[in-house]
Amino acid sequence: MRKTLRHRLCFVVAVSLASLTTSFSVAQLKSEATSKVLVLEAKWNEVYKRGDIAAMNSLLADEFIITVEDGNTYSKAGYIAHLGGGTTAVEISEMSDLKVHTHGNTVVVTGAYHEKGTVKGKPYEYHDRLTDVWMTTDGRWQLIASHYSIPVQ
**Interval 16-26: pLDDT, tens:** 444 434 434 44
Q: Are strands 106-119 and 60-67 parallel, antiparallel or unpaired?
A: unpaired
What is the C-alpha to C-alpha distance for residues 2 and 89, in angstroms, rounded to an integer?
78
Rg of the chain (C-alpha set)? 22
Q: Helices (DSSP H) in 51-123: which residue ranges?
A: 53-59, 76-83
Q: Which domains does the chain have, with CATH numbers?
A: 2-149 (3.10.450.50)
pLDDT category at 152 given cuts 50, 70, 90 is: confident
Mean of pLDDT values over 125-129: 95
Task: Give the CA distances from residue 11 to residues 15, 17, 77, in Å, rounded to whole numbers and listed in that order.
Answer: 6, 10, 56
pTM: 0.78
Q: What is the pLDDT of residue 3?
A: 61
Residues of the chain with pLDDT > 70: what percent? 80
Mean of pLDDT values over 115-129: 94
Q: Residue 6 pLDDT > 50, yes or no? A: yes
Which residues sit opposite 92 in a β-bridge? 116
